[in-house]
């Protein structure tokens, strides 16, 4: 039998649904993390490849521009008019006429130098007075082909100018022509990859395709380009992957090309993928939850019904319906439990029948012994009363003995009847417990076992009213007092029995103390079981059992508080108000 309901716990269907949601959530988060990392890594690889292609494009454009400049310089150097101009060796004349040649060439930069490399004329759009000096300083190194002057950068080519052939002729000077390195040139570099580009000189941006509001982020990232070629920088909410190439070897000043590709498109694609994965996961979670609820209903529903059947059987309801559906395992458990329940009921009926027969036997043995004792006394005294020669005083004594035997038989039968009716048909009324105790004490004073015993009743203060069955409570108190008197009669010293009543807000208690030798240790555990007694020559052994049953029916109990030679204390407790659903304590003789 189950003694109590199990504590609150999580239901199987809730556990399954929670597990499914957690698994899908964990899978979604893991997938998003893996996709994000792999996507970012792959995007960076793609962007780096595109930037490398842009660098290759720049190198190709640079080579083609230099080749074009070489061809143009070759054509200019072969012009007779230019050769004739250089033969004059007059700087002023050369400077004045160089303007026409500059306009004729259509280049952004044009310059003429003598055979010693001295710049005689230098023309460029928006040129400053430092153009000649800047070009003079750099032209001596043929490996250089980038010029920075007046805040503008040029890519140039130098061609010797000979009078006659290059092998046998006389060197007249040098012709220099170049293209401006401007935003249009950078657009050409990044057009194929959709990238931005910039030339950086001495920690400053010389020219760039980036909007001005984003150039500050590039300036802040400039120190990083000296440590690594690839840098991720952020301009506002936009991220860029920047690839740099050092071009200082082609110029007389620090020069670096930086090509940038925005992550903006890939970030949008990543966010779209995240939304799609999240939406798919939510749909999977919703569909999985509905499927799991359906499966849980099919699986856990019969399990819960089976658990309720077990709980109901433990509480005494053997007719609770067992599940007939569910999975194979649940149906198997249901069938096994049904067979087990039938077997337990069959065994319980057999045990109950054997216990009832054993109880009837014990009671018959006890009752027959006591009835023989009382009937023998009645028969013997009746025979003596039949003698006509007995005096009146002896007749009165014999009659008193017959009366006591009849009263003993009546008390024994009343005890059996009350014990058999305990738990059924109680007649409760509101009345004071102290008056019932006083009546029980008065009745006991007339009992032979109370002779020569000091029987005291101590009434405390307070209200002793409760909802009681007077007849049962009076008999219970009477049995406890009689048990105390019978125990006290075996005491070699003083013989005293005290009954004290006390009350609190919810319950009433009667404490009975006797000066007997105490309860034997061997029967203390079974003291309130039927037909248990020790050291008594008469009685059924139901007195304490009846008192305990009556007390439980009134929401209380009877306890052996303490027991030692000279002082044994029993306490009966009852509740003031009727409890809901009192415990049924029936005699095994009357249990169906």
Q: What is the 3-state secondary structure (H, E, C) of 123-157?
A: EECCCCCCHHHHHHHHHCCCCCCEEEECCEEEEEE
Predicted pLDDT at 510: 93
- The helix/strand count (H/E) of the chain reads as 13, 17
Query: What residues contact residue 69 under an 8 Å CB cut-off, 6+ apart?
Result: 107, 155, 156, 157, 177, 178, 179
- Look at 24-33, 157-166, 525-534 and tell me which has the smallest mean pLDDT: 525-534
Asked if the model's pLDDT at residue 422 lies above 60, the reply is: no
Predicted pLDDT at 570: 93
∠ at Cα 420 (408, 553), nearest 5°?
110
Boundary residue ending a domain (159, 181, 203): 181
Q: Across the strands, what pairs with 178?
A: 109, 156
Strand blocks (E) in 150-290: 152-163, 170-180, 196-201, 204-208, 230-235, 238-246, 255-262
The pLDDT confidence band at residue 412, using thresholds 50, 70 and 90, is low
Long-range contacts, 274-279 (Cβ 8 Å, 24+)? 274/32, 274/35, 274/36, 277/28, 277/31, 277/32, 277/35, 278/28, 278/32
Q: How many domains does the chain have?
A: 2
Write the CATH number for 118. Answer: 3.30.450.220
Quote the distance between the C-alpha of residue 353 and its chain's center.
52
Higher per-residue pLDDT: 494 or 40: 494
- 495 in any annotated domain: yes
Among the ranges 12-16, 319-323, 434-438, which has the highest mean pLDDT value? Answer: 434-438
Contact 496, 453 (CB under 8 A): yes
Asked if the model's pLDDT at residue 423 lies above 50, the reply is: no
- 318 in any annotated domain: no
Average pLDDT, the chain: 78
331-375, pLDDT tens digit by residue? 777 788 778 878 887 887 788 777 666 666 665 555 555 566 567
- 473 in any annotated domain: yes
- 194 in any annotated domain: no
Write the CATH number for 500. Answer: 3.30.565.10
234-244, pLDDT tens digit by residue? 777 788 888 88
Give the Cα separation of 137 and 69 in Å (integer): 20
Which letter does DSSP use for residue 89 in this model?
-
Give the Cα separation of 378 and 65 in Å (integer): 149
**Domain region containing 520:** 426-575
Higher per-residue pLDDT: 505 or 234: 505
- 381 in any annotated domain: no
Predicted pLDDT at 391: 79
Predicted pLDDT at 82: 86
390-407, pLDDT tens digit by residue? 777 877 777 777 776 676
Query: What residues contact residue 457 under an 8 Å CB cut-off, 6+ apart?
Result: 437, 438, 441, 498, 499
User: What's the maximum distance between 2 C-alpha atoms anywhere in the chain?
Assistant: 195
The pLDDT confidence band at residue 176, using thresholds 50, 70 and 90, is very high
121-148, pLDDT tens digit by residue? 888 887 777 888 888 888 878 888 888 8
Boundary residue ending a domain (153, 181, 209): 181
Higher per-residue pLDDT: 368 or 18: 18
Boundary residue ending a domain (134, 156, 181): 181
49-100, pLDDT tens digit by residue? 888 888 888 888 888 888 988 898 888 888 888 888 888 888 888 888 888 8
Output the DSSP codes for 531-560. T--SS-SS--S-HHHHHHHHHHHTT-EEEE
- 231 in any annotated domain: no
Rounded mean pLDDT of 165-176? 86
88-123, pLDDT tens digit by residue? 888 888 888 888 888 888 888 999 998 888 888 888
Closest CA to 262 of 223, 234, 302: 234
The pLDDT confidence band at residue 424, using thresholds 50, 70 and 90, is very low
Tokens linked to 499: 């009954």
- 35 in any annotated domain: no
- 393 in any annotated domain: no
The pLDDT confidence band at residue 10, using thresholds 50, 70 and 90, is low
Q: pLDDT above 70 covers what percent of the chain?
A: 83
């Amino acid at each position: 039998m189950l003694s109590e309901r199990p504590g609150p716990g999580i239901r199987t269907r809730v556990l399954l649904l929670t597990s499914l949601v957690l698994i899908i959530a964990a899978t979604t988060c893991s997938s998003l993390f893996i996709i994000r990392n792999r996507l970012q890594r792959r995007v960076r690889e793609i962007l780096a490849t595109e930037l490398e292609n842009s660098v290759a494009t720049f190198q190709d454009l640079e080579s083609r521009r230099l080749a074009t400049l070489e061809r143009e310089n070759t054509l200019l150097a072969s012009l007779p008019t230019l050769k004739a101009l250089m033969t004059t060796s007059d700087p002023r004349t050369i400077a004045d006429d160089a303007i026409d040649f500059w306009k004729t060439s259509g280049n952004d930069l044009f310059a003429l130098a003598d055979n010693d490399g001295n710049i005689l004329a230098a023309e460029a759009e928006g040129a400053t007075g430092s153009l000649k000096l800047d070009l003079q300083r750099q032209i001596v190194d043929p490996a250089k082909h980038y010029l920075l002057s007046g805040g503008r950068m040029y890519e140039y080519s130098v061609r010797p100018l000979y009078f006659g052939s290059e092998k046998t002729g006389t060197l007249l000077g040098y012709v220099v022509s170049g293209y401006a390195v401007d935003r249009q040139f950078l657009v050409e570099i990044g057009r194929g990859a959709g990238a931005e580009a910039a030339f950086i000189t001495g920690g400053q941006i010389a020219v760039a395709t980036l909007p001005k509001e984003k150039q500050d982020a590039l300036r802040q990232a400039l120190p990083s380009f000296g440590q690594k070629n690839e840098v991720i920088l952020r301009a506002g909410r936009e991220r860029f992957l920047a690839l740099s190439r050092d071009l200082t070897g082609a110029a007389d000043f620090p020069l670096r090309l930086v090509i940038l590709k925005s992550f903006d498109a890939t970030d949008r694609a990543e966010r779209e993928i995240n939304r799609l994965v999240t939406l798919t996961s939510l749909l999977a979670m919703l569909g999985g939850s509905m499927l799991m609820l359906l499966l849980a209903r099919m699986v856990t529903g019969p399990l819960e019904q089976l658990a309720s059947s077990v709980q109901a059987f433990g509480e005494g309801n053997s007719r609770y319906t067992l599940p007939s559906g569910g999975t194979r395992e649940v149906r198997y458990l249901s069938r096994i439990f049904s067979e087990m329940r039938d077997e337990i009921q069959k065994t319980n009926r057999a045990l109950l029948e054997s216990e009832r027969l054993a109880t009837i036997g014990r009671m018959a043995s006890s009752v027959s012994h006591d009835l023989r004792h009382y009937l023998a006394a009645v028969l013997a005294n009746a025979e003596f009363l039949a003698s006509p020669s007995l005096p009146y005083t002896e007749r009165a004594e014999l009659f008193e003995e017959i009366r006591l035997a009849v009263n003993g038989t009546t008390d024994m039968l009343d005890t059996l009847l009350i014990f058999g009716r305990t738990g059924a048909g109680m007649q409760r009324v509101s009345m004071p417990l102290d008056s019932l105790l006083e009546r029980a004490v008065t009745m006991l004073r007339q009992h032979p076992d109370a002779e020569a015993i000091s029987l005291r009743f101590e009434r405390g203060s307070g209200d002793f009213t409760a909802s009681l069955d007077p007849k049962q409570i009076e008999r219970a108190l009477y049995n406890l007092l009689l048990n105390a008197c019978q125990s006290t009669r075996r005491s070699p010293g003083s013989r005293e029995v005290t009954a004290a009543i006390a009350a609190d807000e919810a319950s009433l208690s009667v404490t009975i103390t006797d000066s007997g030798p105490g309860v034997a240790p061997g029967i203390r555990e079974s003291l309130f079981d039927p037909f248990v007694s020790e050291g008594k020559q008469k009685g059924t052994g139901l007195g304490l059992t009846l008192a305990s049953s009556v007390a439980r029916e009134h929401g209380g109990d009877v306890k052996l508080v303490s027991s030692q030679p000279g002082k044994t204390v029993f306490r009966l407790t009852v509740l003031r108000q009727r409890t809901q659903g009192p415990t049924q304590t029936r005699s095994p003789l009357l249990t169906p």
